[in-house]
């Protein structure tokens, strides 16, 4: 048993994680007993730091859902989160050794299962880590899976990903994931807030994304978003803004097949390319 490691993008560093534990769907058991006291302390300190930043920066939906994660002072057991999560939205989290291929990833999402990396960053990576770890996945992604509308959107994304795979359109669809689920912003009555996991789990990008005058912030529009490349090693220079999770869900209800065909003939936007229109 076991699966080959997965690398996205160009990298000379082998991916972290013990892929020999992964089954054919790239999931594995969470070995909670293997976490050290230092691992638990790293999780606690990361949790405390991010919580202190949330007021006025994180979406109300995220702040309301965060307590559903449970314990704050150590790495939680996945089965305990699943007891609450399944009752709330019929979702579950499953352990994975790290990044997984697109088809297993889409398949899990389509079946309302969210893959969570089971290892945590080293102390020297406290401020920045290249690959998503258990803190990024749990703190950043899982709370909003308790929100019924957002949870349904993530499942729809997984279903769309399986279709995009057959159409050769995964790169275009991946940009929608990046600019919504990972780096999305939402405009609330009390101002701009973050709902994307990549922002919410980052102490530096959270205030930058919401408050800095440097990046451009555009209304989410499918064609523009799917044509926009993104940065994986710096803060984003472009963010896309929604007005509600209902808007996001409705916007992605249509069959994307004609859109993919249309986009194949259009030029891409660089990650920092400025839009001539008035920003959101």
Catalytic residues: 136, 141, 182, 201
> Quick check: 237 and 270 in contact, CB under 8 A?
no
Residue 9: count of CB within 10 angstroms of its CB = 7
Q: How far is CA 145 from CA 51, 74, 262, in A?
A: 18, 21, 32
What are the tokens at 199? Answer: 């922002």
Helix (H) or strand (E) holding 211: helix 205-211
Task: Give percent helix, percent strand, percent coil of the chain, each to the nearest 5.
Answer: 45, 10, 40
What secondary structure letter does DSSP report for 16? P
174 burial class (0-12, 13-18, 19+ CB within 10 angstroms)? middle
Q: What distance lies between CA 61 and its chain's CA centroid?
A: 15
Angle at 60 between CA 54 and CA 64, to 5 degrees: 90
């Amino acid at each position: 048993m076991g699966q080959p490691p997965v690398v996205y993008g160009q990298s000379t560093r082998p991916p972290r994680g013990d892929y020999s534990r992964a089954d054919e769907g790239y999931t594995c058991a969470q070995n909670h007993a293997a976490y050290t006291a230092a691992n638990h302390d790293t999780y606690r300190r990361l949790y405390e730091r991010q919580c202190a930043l949330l007021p006025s920066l994180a979406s109300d939906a995220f702040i309301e859902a965060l307590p559903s994660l449970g314990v704050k002072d150590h790495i939680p057991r996945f089965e305990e989160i699943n007891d609450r999560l399944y009752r709330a939205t019929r979702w579950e989290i499953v352990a994975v050794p790290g990044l997984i291929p697109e088809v297993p990833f889409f398949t899990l999402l389509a079946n309302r299962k969210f893959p969570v990396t089971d290892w945590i960053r080293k102390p020297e990576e406290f401020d920045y880590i290249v690959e998503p770890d258990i803190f990024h996945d749990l703190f950043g992604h899982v709370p909003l899976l308790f929100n019924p509308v957002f949870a349904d959107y993530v499942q729809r994304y997984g279903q769309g990903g399986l279709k995009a795979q057959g159409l050769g359109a995964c790169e275009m669809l991946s940009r929608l994931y990046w600019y919504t689920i990972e780096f999305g912003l939402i405009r609330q009555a009390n101002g701009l807030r973050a709902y994307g996991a990549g922002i919410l789990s980052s102490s530096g990008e959270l205030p930058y994304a919401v408050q800095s005058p440097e990046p451009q912030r555009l209304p989410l529009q499918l064609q523009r978003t799917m044509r926009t490349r993104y940065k994986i090693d710096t803060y984003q220079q472009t963010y896309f803004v929604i007005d509600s999770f209902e808007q996001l869900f409705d916007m992605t209800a249509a069959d994307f097949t004609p859109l993919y065909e249309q986009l194949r003939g259009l030029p891409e936007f660089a990650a920092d390319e400025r839009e001539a229109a008035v920003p959101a």
